[in-house]
Amino acid sequence: MIKIALPKGRLGEKVYALFESAGYECPSIRENNRKLIFENPEKQVCYFWVKPSDVPVYVERGAADVGVAGKDILLEHGPDVYELLDLGLGRCRMAVAAPEGFRDSGERTLKVATKFANIARRFYAEQGRDIDIIPLNGSIELAPLLGLSDVIVDIVETGTTLRENRLEVVETILPISARLIANQASWRFKADLLVPLVRKLEGTVKAND
């Protein structure tokens, strides 16, 4: 069986649909219940729903052979896994945003609120800019509005959250999309199952493009 960690939520539904159209269906997953694990022995797959930021943990430690995680999570946590394929789903960007009209004078330490402390640190280190990270877990956009930070480093998809809170993108850090990752040992020892899976997914991604 191939053990597959799917990110719970909207992205996960799209990811499952992709696996399904690649020929790895598991009909029971469509039944709307609170179950977390679903198997289809005929297709040799076992899917489970995982909190998106936990997917690399399951894959790195081999509880899952493969999984799907956003490039943002991979860059932030740097798990020891193979990144096999860009699935082209969940496209968005990591960006610095601030209240409309904000200009960084560069004179004092910049206060940066974010869920992505490592990405933010690396980005500003490359620019030689002194920053103070304010770690938050959600609703990051609130921070500059309440004077908790000067800017935020966060994910921007449609830009609606920024617009509705009178914030704007100051700088794009990098584009983000969902990636197929594999456990290193599984990739060697289950190659007979995993190589065909990657090939079929690759074909489906190209056909969808």
Binding residues vs ligand PRP (CB under 6 A): 138-141, 154-161
Return the number of the residue (145 or 195) whose C-beta is nearest ligand PRP. 145
Handedness of CA 28, 29, 31, 37 (dihedral sign): positive
Return the number of the residue (45 or 96) whose C-beta is nearest ligand PRP. 96
Return the number of the residue (131 or 143) whose C-beta is nearest ligand PRP. 143
Burial of 197 (0-12, 13-18, 19+ CB in 10 A): buried
User: Contact at 8 Å (CB) between 119 and 76?
Assistant: yes
Return the number of the residue (43 or 111) whose C-beta is nearest ligand PRP. 111
Question: Cβ 105 to ligand PRP, closest distance in Å?
Answer: 26
> Which residue has its beta carbon closest to ligand PRP?
138
Question: Cβ 115 to ligand PRP, closest distance in Å?
Answer: 6
Question: Cβ 146 to ligand PRP, closest distance in Å?
Answer: 15
Question: Cβ 110 to ligand PRP, closest distance in Å?
Answer: 19
Burial of 142 (0-12, 13-18, 19+ CB in 10 A): middle
| Nearby residues of 12 by Cβ (< 8 Å), 6 or more positions away | 6, 49, 52, 68
